């Protein structure tokens, strides 16, 4: 919904009035979510985004300044009318990005999956060795371990819904599949990634890939950008694809045939961290009164049963 400046909330009004005082002629806007706007400046669309943590924005500005092929594959930062790269106001650091016309990728479509994976591979290729600020982040297995602990904190919900047996199965399976993945030499793999300056996007969900009308795919939202094994991005993208390919395993494995560490990649794919993430997301929506708990548990069970078949097949491949 496009709105003029007079129709915004109080925070938006104050922000845009301040920007206008800096000779930024915003003629209309769409509020995408808090602190994120599609704005038209002199009739040209941009993304305006606010950051509570300045280091997240500063890293992106440093990164894009040194990524020579950025415009081919991503929404890039642009300067404000007064040539500033960022502005501070109302508790945020603000940045402008190019607006990519198009639609979010639909991973149910084979062509979108192929283009998204190709785009990710080109991102990894073109940023390897890039010198920029980097915010250290934990290895994936530690992140997943914390996610499992968060899941354990929802035990009472399953007991209340008489789904304790299902809860126990999830905890047991997640622990069993996470353990061999965690035992790989991640210190060595992480060190190698730092030496080679391998950059990760960090959030390869469908909504962070934009399909342009001409057919090319680009990436947006680099807030989780960091240095690490590109394997992490490839595992997470595989998790995003799995709901559409669990019954077409040959197509799934054919798509990821070029991963650098195929055995480690598959061990990571087997860990159902993505299903647990979706459960926790839905559980939080339930707590805020936005969803029915029974519906969400039912969705979780259906997804879990489907994944179990894929896991049995993939574990047979690893023998």
Residue 143 pLDDT more than 90?
Answer: yes
Residue 2 pLDDT more than 60?
Answer: no
Residue 318's pLDDT band, with cuts at 50, 70 and 90, is confident
Residue 179's pLDDT band, with cuts at 50, 70 and 90, is very high
Residue 21 pLDDT more than 50?
Answer: yes
| Longest Cα–Cα distance in the chain | 66
Q: In whole numbers, what is the pLDDT of the chain averaged over residues?
A: 94
- Predicted pLDDT at 8: 52
Axis-axis angle for helices 230-245, 110-127 (nearest 10):
180
| pTM (predicted TM-score) | 0.93
> Distance between CA 259 and CA 268 in Å, rounded?
12
- The residues, ordered by sequence, that sit 6+ positions from 75 with a Cβ below 8 Å of its Cβ are 47, 97, 98, 99, 100, 210, 218, 219, 220
> Distance between CA 190 and CA 187 in Å, rounded?
5
- Domains belonging to the chain, first-starting first, are 5-99 (3.30.200.20), 110-317 (3.90.1200.10)
> Distance between CA 222 and CA 30 in Å, rounded?
21
> Distance between CA 248 and CA 19 in Å, rounded?
51
Residue 317's pLDDT band, with cuts at 50, 70 and 90, is confident
pLDDT (average), residues 68-85: 96
Residue 290's pLDDT band, with cuts at 50, 70 and 90, is confident
Residue 3 pLDDT more than 80?
Answer: no
> Distance between CA 234 and CA 256 in Å, rounded?
8
């Amino acid at each position: 919904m496009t709105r003029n400046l007079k129709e915004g909330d109080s925070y938006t009004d104050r922000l845009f009035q301040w920007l206008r005082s800096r000779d930024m002629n915003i003629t209309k806007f769409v509020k995408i979510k808090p602190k994120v706007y599609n704005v038209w400046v002199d009739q040209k669309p941009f993304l305006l985004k606010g950051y509570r943590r300045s280091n997240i924005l500063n890293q992106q500005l440093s990164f894009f300044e040194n990524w020579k092929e950025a415009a081919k594959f991503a929404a890039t930062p642009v300067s404000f009318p007064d040539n500033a790269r960022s502005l501070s106001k109302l508790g945020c650091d603000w940045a402008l990005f190019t607006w990519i016309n198009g639609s979010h990728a639909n991973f149910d479509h084979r062509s979108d999956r192929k283009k998204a994976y190709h785009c990710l591979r080109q991102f990894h290729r073109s940023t390897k060795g890039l010198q920029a600020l980097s915010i250290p982040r934990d290895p994936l297995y530690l992140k997943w371990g914390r996610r499992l602990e968060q899941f354990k904190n929802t035990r009472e919900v399953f007991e209340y819904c008489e789904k304790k047996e299902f809860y126990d199965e999830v905890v047991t399976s997640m622990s069993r599949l996470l353990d061999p993945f965690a035992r790989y030499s991640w210190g060595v793999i992480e060190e190698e990634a730092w030496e080679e300056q391998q950059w990760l996007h960090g959030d390869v969900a469908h909504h962070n890939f934009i399909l342009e009308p001409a057919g090319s795919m680009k990436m947006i939202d680099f807030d989780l950008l960091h240095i690490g094994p590109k394997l992490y991005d490839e595992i997470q993208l595989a998790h995003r694809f799995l709901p559409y390919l669990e019954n077409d395993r040959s197509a799934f494995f054919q798509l990821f045939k070029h991963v650098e560490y195929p055995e480690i990649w598959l061990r990571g794919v087997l860990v159902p961290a993505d299903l647990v993430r979706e459960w926790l997301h839905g559980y939080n929506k339930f707590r805020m009164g936005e969803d029915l708990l029974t519906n969400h548990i039912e969705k979780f069970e259906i997804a879990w049963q489907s994944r179990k078949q894929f896991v049995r097949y993939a574990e047979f491949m690893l023998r």
